[in-house]
Structure 1
Amino acid sequence: MTTQQTGAAAGLAAALRGKLIVSCQAPPGDPMRETATLVRLARSAAAGGGAAIRANEPDVVAAVAAAVDLPVIGLWKDGDTGVYITPTVRHALAIAEAGAAVVAADATGRPRPDGSTFAELVTAVHAAGALVMGDVSTLAEGVAAAGQGADFISTTLSGYVPGTPRQTGPDLALVAALAAATDVPVVAEGRVNTPQEAAEALARGAHSVVVGTAITAPTALTARFVAALNQH
């Protein structure tokens, strides 16, 4: 990592300290899954005070980066099992080229489809001029990601990898453990449902907090209300 990149990482970390990152994504088949709609979500998040946007796929990353004056944390979901969040170096470089300030990628240590290591992905993304967020599910994975050069560590995958705790809310214990174990900024992500949970994540040591579904997913939010009503 060059001196310039080290400075960029420090500058972005300072800008995101204590701030909200809004994830503007929609699953396949969802009516919200179109670039123009996701851009409007990003613009709304910016208007509400969001400090950065997390977005999926190169075309959306590029469109969001052009539309909002905020850093974009980009990823590329390919599939829905195993390593599917920016699974290869090719995916990572495409996201960097699309204009992401940070490329988020699975850093769980599971086999990657192209046979690469997370460290190799980090090196490639840094060479392309972007930073890396390692999405992890455990403390050991987070510590390993930090050692392999990740600029940020996110708890994104806790609860979604076999053997990790299934919870209805964020994995605050993992947030606290990671914050105590590494100097790399820890981002709380995954099932942050309320402003109170977001604030608690900061209190537990999170550097920043990502919120997606609770802000930008009307289909999922509607389904929650419907499910609650159907119990009566």
Structure 2
Amino acid sequence: MTKKTELWQTLKNELIVSCQALPEEPLHSSLIMGKMAYAAKLGGAKGIRSNSVDDIREIKKTTNLPIIGIIKKVTPGCSVFITPTEEEVAALYNEGVDIIAMDATNRKRPNNQTIVEFFKTIRARYPDQLFMADCATFEEAKQAVKLGFDCIGTTLCGYTEETKGTKLPNFNLIQQLANSFDCPIIAEGGIWTPEDLKHVFECGAHTAVVGTAITRPMDITKRFVKAVKG
């Protein structure tokens, strides 16, 4: 059994927890993200999605779970910020994350490249690395499969101009992707409840990422407050 096959078997019908906190958030701390990942592991998560090399290194101290690594970098005038350039890809590769995820939408990257131009170079440079395409639409996923991404995520559905206002989780998109492609489909985005999680697997997702509903207490609190005030 290859390492790649073993990884996908480990994640089949299992939960990946996204442990992230941006600088403006109360829990922004690599130490806290390490503890969060450890708590997720104790709770039964089989994988972690993490932002930044510092957080990934701390998480590796507390868990031995597979890691989907990203680096969020904001560039003025550019809407692509999830692993946007070769610099971030190289940093994640050198850190040895299991899967590197990046924005695979049709939006232009900071250097004005398309995902087609960008990923052809990346795929050739890192032939043995697993890459996840964070997509928003079926057509973007189709393009990502053609480019040679190893798995497809619904991560950016609802977060691009084209998909703004889409009800999440987008169960129809998940099912369409699962029925159309042989590569693993990773459901991500708007999974708020255990029932949502169960349904994305019923739609054919290979694995699923849950973040805010588990690891962002400020947003969880807001949801409860909104229910009371509503």
TM-score by length of 1: 0.91
Runs of 4+, deviation exceeding 4 Å: none
SS of the counterpart of 2:59?
helix
Offset at residue 100 of structure 1 (A): 1.0
Provide, for residues 95-149 of structure 1, a one-character-per-residue CA deviation record: whole Å limited to 9, x for no partner.
122231100001113222233522323333x34x531111000111111111111
Report what 1:89 is aligned to: 86
Change (3 A) 1:123 1:9: farther
Q: Is the 8 A contact 1:88 1:121 kept in 2?
A: no
Report what 2:215 is aligned to: 216
Report what 1:194 is aligned to: 193
SS of the counterpart of 2:132?
strand
> How far apart, in 2, do the equivalents of 1:88 and 1:223 lie?
34
Report what 2:52 is aligned to: 57
Q: Is the 8 A contact 1:189 1:209 kept in 2?
A: yes
- Note if 1:31 corresponds to 2:26: yes
Q: Is the 8 A contact 2:158 2:167 kept in 1?
A: no
Which residue, 34, 43, 49 being the options, matches 1:48? 43
Q: Is the 8 A contact 1:176 1:206 kept in 2?
A: yes
SS of the counterpart of 1:118?
helix
The amino acid that maps onto 1:10 is T
SS of the counterpart of 1:97?
helix
Offset at residue 203 of structure 1 (A): 0.4
Offset at residue 21 of structure 1 (A): 0.4
SS of the counterpart of 1:27?
coil
Offset at residue 154 of structure 1 (A): 0.2
SS of the counterpart of 1:105?
strand
Provide, for residues 75-100 of structure 1, a one-character-per-residue CA deviation record: whole Å limited to 9, x for no partner.
01112851110001111111122231
Which residue, 6, 11, 16 being the options, matches 1:16? 11
Give unmatched runs, 5+ long, in structure 2.
none
- Note if 1:102 corresponds to 2:99: yes
Q: Is the 8 A contact 1:65 1:99 kept in 2?
A: no
Task: Out of 61-70 and 189-198, give the one that drifted further.
Answer: 61-70
> How far apart, in 2, do the equivalents of 1:147 and 1:13 lie?
20
Q: Is the 8 A contact 2:158 2:168 kept in 1?
A: no
Equivalent residue runs for 1:129-168 within 5 Å: 129-164=128-163, 166-168=165-167
Give unmatched runs, 5+ long, in structure 1.
none
Report what 2:122 is aligned to: 121
The amino acid that maps onto 2:9 is A
TM-score by length of 2: 0.92
State, as a whole percentage, how many aligned pairs show the same letter. 36
Report what 1:74 is aligned to: 69
Provide, for residues 167-221 of structure 1, a one-character-per-residue CA deviation record: whole Å limited to 9, x for no partner.
4531111111111111110000001000110110000010001000111110111
Q: CA RMSD of the aligned region, Å?
A: 1.7
